[in-house]
Amino acid sequence: MNVKVIVKGMAKGSILVAKNPLNFLGGIDKKTGIVHDKNHDLFGKSIGNKILAFPFGIGSSVGAYTIYSLKYNKCAPLAMICLKADLTTASGCAISNIPLVVANKNDYDSLEQDKEVVLDAVTGKIL
């Protein structure tokens, strides 16, 4: 699948797909990477060391620091796939060197939970 590259890099791992948008500041524990918003479909799961797919980021702009903290605390996603890259997610990934790509709606909907993939955020491909 071809994707648009926002932040360059390479990643290999399993995909974790979220149905709901993510509020990084309110929804994720920055020390563990565990989703602690009870109303989120990933509640209780860790986004650490996964290729995290979610529609887009919402809420507080400080979520960018949450992304940086996840990296600092070694529990950040390996890479992120979004439908629309909001500025909090894009700037958070840019500063934290986390590869970020945007997929179109059909491709995004075809992402399979737990599937092992290689994300090439240089040429813009998910294999």
Partner 1 sequence: MELTKEEEDALDGKQGETLALAYRTLVAIGEASGSDRLIPIEWAHLSGVNYNTIGDAGRDFLSHLSQDAKFKVKTTVNPMGFDFDSVSRYNLDDKFIENQRSIKNSYEKMGAIPSYSCIPYEIFDIPKQGTHVSFAESNAAIYANSFSGLKTNKEGAFSALASALTGKSPCSDLRDDKVRKPNLTIRMKVESPDELTYGMLGYFAGKVAGSSVALSGVNDLDRRSCKSLCAGMGTSGACGMFTFGEEEGEKIDFDKKEMQKIHDELNTSESGDLITLGSPQLGLDEIADLAGMLKGRSFKKRCMIFCPSAIKGQMRDLGYRKEIERAGGELLFDCCTCLSPLVDNKEVDSVTTNSVKGAYYLRTSNQVDVNLKSLKNIVAEETK
**Which residues 89-118 are close enough to bind partner 1 by CB under 8 A?**
89-95, 100, 102
Q: Which residues contact 76 (CB under 8 A, 6 or more apart)?
A: 33, 47, 48, 49, 67, 70, 96, 98
In whole angstroms, how close is the CB of 105 to partner 1 at the nearest point? Answer: 14
SS3 24: helix
**Contact between 45 and partner 1 (CB under 8 A)?**
no
Q: Nearest approach, Cβ of 106 to partner 1 (angstroms)?
A: 19
Q: Which residue pairs from 27-32 have beta carbons closer than 8 angstroms and sit at least 24 positions apart in sequence?
A: 27/59, 28/66, 28/70, 30/66, 30/69, 30/70, 30/73, 31/69, 31/73, 31/75, 32/73, 32/75
Fill in the per-residue mask, 52 to 91: x = in contact with partner 1 (CB under 8 A), - = not in contact. Answer: ----xxxxxxxxxxx-xx-xxx----------xxxxxxxx
Query: Does 33 interact with partner 1 (rule: CB under 8 A)?
Result: no
Catalytic residue check, 60: yes
Place of tokens 């799961």: 45
Q: Please pick, from the candidates 30, 51, 78, 119, the single residue that binds partner 1 as defined by CB under 8 A.
A: 30
Q: Which two tokens stand for residue 28?
A: 């994720």
Residues that bind partner 1 (CB under 8 A): 4-7, 21, 23, 25-27, 30-31, 36-37, 39, 56-66, 68-69, 71-73, 84-95, 100, 102
Residues belonging to the active site:
60
